[in-house]
Structure 1
Amino acid sequence: MKKLRMAIMGAGGIASCMARTIAEMENVERYAIGSRSLEKAEAFASEYGFARAYGSYEELVRDENVDLVYIATPHSEHFENAKLCIAHGRPVLCEKAFTANAAQACELLEMAEKAGVFITEAIWVRYLPMLETIRKELADGIIGEPTMLTANLGYVISQVPRLRRPELAGGALLDVGVYPLNFALMIFGGEVAKVSSVCTYTDTGVDEQNSATLIYEDGKVAVLNSSMLSLSDRKGIIYGTKGFMIVENINNFESLTVYDQDRREIKHIDCPPQISGYEYEVEACIRALEEGRLECPQMPHAETIRVMKMMDAMRAEWGIRYPFE
């Protein structure tokens, strides 16, 4: 099988992480990097071993040798960047949050379907092998019937310029809060009856900390917190009728530990060795493309839209609209 010729759109920090990851993947070629600056693209290509460097995104997508484009630009740019890829028939792995809002997501996915072009959201936790391990342990009844979960994710990142800028769809929710939300949906599913949420604001008008409570139709409850002001424990805790499970790092599952009714540890599982964790979403794309799919089963388009609609509703509750909306 030939190597997947992968291109990266955007040459920032997350693009660097992906570049380092695919450098260690035998079935992926570091083919092209695209930036709005040729100088930056050439520096990136030189540092990470990419064969081609383009000083515009338009040049990148016109390259017919590109098998997959990883979009690593700010949230506000995903919609237009992905549209550009689809218009040129280039398959897309788009970094989370998929778009800035649900309307953009729906339009983008409809466009991709009509064009017959593959696209998926790069919410990497959806592709991690540990997710299936967590689900299996819960299905086996190790903590009885799960009834509640909590998930927290916070980093001291409020000084990052793009996160403070409304015009770049900044704020904690799309950057950090998307992980607790996905954790709840991955574990408890999408049958949510009610969402109540609150946030605090930066001086630029985006959310800096937020908290949401999800009430499920079957009575389950999920309490989710995210912050760009403070460092959190990153834990996801699932509470059941016979015990509870602690998942370390909901941003890249490191381990799960199960406790019984007496709060005694009865099981511990560490995650398998990995490059960075990003490799699993790339491998999922390769399989989907080989099978002729237009989406990845790990993150179906319907689930991407569900997440975007929930985040839209939370922002509406907070009175936050981006300037371009």
Structure 2
Amino acid sequence: MALKWGIAAAGKITQDFVNAVNTLNKDDHDLVAVAARDLNRAKEFAKKFGVKKAYGSYLELAQDQDIEVVYVGTLNPQHLEVATLMLENGKHVLVEKPLCLNEKQAQKLITCAKQQNLFLMEAIWSRMFPSYQYVRKQIQSGLLGEIVSVEAEFGLELHNIARHSKNDLGGGTVLNLGVYLIQCCQWAFQEAPKSITATGTLNDEGVDVEVLAELNYGGNRIGKIKTSAFNKLSNSAIIIGTKGQITIPTFWSPTSIIDTDGTEKTWPLPNTEYEFNFQNTCGLRYEADEVRKCIREGKKESEIVTHNESLLIAHIESEIRRQIGVKYAADD
């Protein structure tokens, strides 16, 4: 039976999500409605991507009885409000990363989902890629030995884009790029870091435009991460063990990896009718399938991105921001 989707917001990432869902079996996924604050924009979105209904408010979307689950692709500061609205109206929820602005908000949202007995997942889509699943199996098999280091960096020219550079829009590299780096370290080490040290550069809005951080897991096991909103970096991750290493190019959405023996393994994405706004976002199809699988199995969270994992990632994000001096109104 098809999972009936509602889409909250009509921006670039939601366009890519719907474009990706359209590559999946229509018997598994049904795009019921999209909502935006501008009704005309929602109507244009619906017409282009074959979504059945369009609404000019998120409340209308939340009250649509045909919808089972809502993908929340709003700006960061709206995640808590919009996701809570959907949960309180009986909808399962998939929220774009970061789950919320801080750990406190993330805990509040997860508590709401548990009270409503509904599925909730942070959309850390990287982990659903076949490449990430392959890397996890390689680590679990012991082929890399003990993981001793993760070296990852993510940098793009984002400093002139409002949602990345303005404080009141939840800007900054920690929430918008660093979340990918943090989750990659967690994917490799599978435990909470024992200590965190971070330095960074802030813009006039008081949000971070460059960050260097180390996550110390004890026993000289370190995750080294770097972000930049000024320069394109290598945008790769290297997971190093006592017996070997794996390199993940385009690590946030990887269709290939360099395995322990130096060979490249690839998992191509399908072609689509429309172009995507961001790199490899056809891979959002994997998280849509994960959501369907979990909901049809009656699960309230995914084993790939658990609630505790999202809380830990939010904690690490908040601690890095605290050390470098980035504060949002929601932190008060």
Q: TM-score range by the shorter chain?
A: over 0.9
Following superposition of structure 1 onto structure 2, how do residues 196-235 of structure 1 map, counting pairs within 5 Å? Answer: 196-235=197-236
Q: Could you say which residue in structure 2 is the equivalent of 1:270?
A: 266
2:244 matched to 1:247? no
Q: Could you say which residue in structure 1 is the equivalent of 2:3?
A: 4
Work out whether residues 77 and 169 of structure 2, in 8 Å CA contact, stay in contact via their aligned partners in 1.
Answer: yes
Work out whether residues 71 and 93 of structure 2, in 8 Å CA contact, stay in contact via their aligned partners in 1.
Answer: yes
Work out whether residues 269 and 283 of structure 2, in 8 Å CA contact, stay in contact via their aligned partners in 1.
Answer: no
Following superposition of structure 1 onto structure 2, how do residues 115-126 of structure 1 map, counting pairs within 5 Å? Answer: 115-126=116-127
Q: Could you say which residue in structure 2 is the equivalent of 1:187?
A: 188
Moved more, 220-229 or 176-185: 220-229
2:21 matched to 1:25? no
Work out whether residues 6 and 32 of structure 1, in 8 Å CA contact, stay in contact via their aligned partners in 2.
Answer: yes
Q: Could you say which residue in structure 1 is the equivalent of 2:239?
A: 238
Per-residue deviation, 1:269: 1.5
Q: What is the distance in 1 between the residues matched to 2:145 and 2:314?
A: 31
Equivalent pairs, count: 319
Q: If the length of structure 1 is used for normalisation, what is the TM-score?
A: 0.94
Following superposition of structure 1 onto structure 2, how do residues 90-169 of structure 1 map, counting pairs within 5 Å? Answer: 90-169=91-170
Q: Could you say which residue in structure 2 is the equivalent of 1:299?
A: 305
After superposition, the C-alpha distances for 1:264-289 in whole angstroms (9 at most, x for unaligned) are x5433213545611111111111111
3-state SS, counterpart of residue 152 of structure 1:
strand
2:285 matched to 1:279? yes
Per-residue deviation, 1:243: 3.3
Unmatched 5+ stretches in structure 2: 272-281
Moved more, 301-310 or 188-197: 188-197
Judged with a 3 Å threshold, the aligned counterparts in structure 2 of structure 1 residues 283 and 55 are, in CA distance, closer, same or farther, namely same
Per-residue deviation, 1:48: 1.2
3-state SS, counterpart of residue 133 of structure 2:
helix
Work out whether residues 167 and 324 of structure 1, in 8 Å CA contact, stay in contact via their aligned partners in 2.
Answer: no
After superposition, the C-alpha distances for 1:88-120 in whole angstroms (9 at most, x for unaligned) are 011100000000011111111111101111111
Judged with a 3 Å threshold, the aligned counterparts in structure 2 of structure 1 residues 80 and 207 are, in CA distance, closer, same or farther, namely same
Q: Could you say which residue in structure 2 is the equivalent of 1:58?
A: 59
Q: Could you say which residue in structure 2 is the equivalent of 1:313?
A: 319
Q: Which amino acid aligns with 2:293?
A: R
Q: Which amino acid aligns with 2:296?
A: E
Work out whether residues 118 and 294 of structure 1, in 8 Å CA contact, stay in contact via their aligned partners in 2.
Answer: yes
Judged with a 3 Å threshold, the aligned counterparts in structure 2 of structure 1 residues 146 and 167 are, in CA distance, closer, same or farther, namely same
Work out whether residues 191 and 217 of structure 1, in 8 Å CA contact, stay in contact via their aligned partners in 2.
Answer: no
Work out whether residues 203 and 209 of structure 2, in 8 Å CA contact, stay in contact via their aligned partners in 1.
Answer: yes
Unmatched 5+ stretches in structure 1: 260-264
Percent sequence identity over aligned pairs: 28
Work out whether residues 240 and 246 of structure 2, in 8 Å CA contact, stay in contact via their aligned partners in 1.
Answer: yes
3-state SS, counterpart of residue 316 of structure 2:
helix
Q: What is the distance in 1 between the residues matched to 2:97 and 2:165?
A: 17
Runs of 4+ in structure 1 deviating by more than 4 angstroms, as ranges, are none
3-state SS, counterpart of residue 314 of structure 2:
helix
Q: What is the distance in 1 between the residues matched to 2:203 and 2:192?
A: 32
Q: What is the distance in 2 between the residues matched to 1:271 and 1:22?
A: 18
Per-residue deviation, 1:24: 1.6
Work out whether residues 120 and 299 of structure 1, in 8 Å CA contact, stay in contact via their aligned partners in 2.
Answer: yes
After superposition, the C-alpha distances for 1:207-251 in whole angstroms (9 at most, x for unaligned) are 001111011034311101111211111111122333332111111
Q: What is the distance in 2 between the residues matched to 1:83 and 1:53?
A: 20
Q: What is the distance in 2 between the residues matched to 1:52 and 1:274?
A: 26
Q: What is the distance in 2 between the residues matched to 1:324 and 1:214?
A: 25
CA RMSD of aligned residues (A): 1.5
Work out whether residues 101 and 330 of structure 2, in 8 Å CA contact, stay in contact via their aligned partners in 1.
Answer: no
3-state SS, counterpart of residue 263 of structure 2:
strand
Q: If the length of structure 2 is used for normalisation, what is the TM-score?
A: 0.92
Q: What is the distance in 2 between the residues matched to 1:160 and 1:183?
A: 25
Q: What is the distance in 2 between the residues matched to 1:284 and 1:127?
A: 7
3-state SS, counterpart of residue 277 of structure 1:
helix
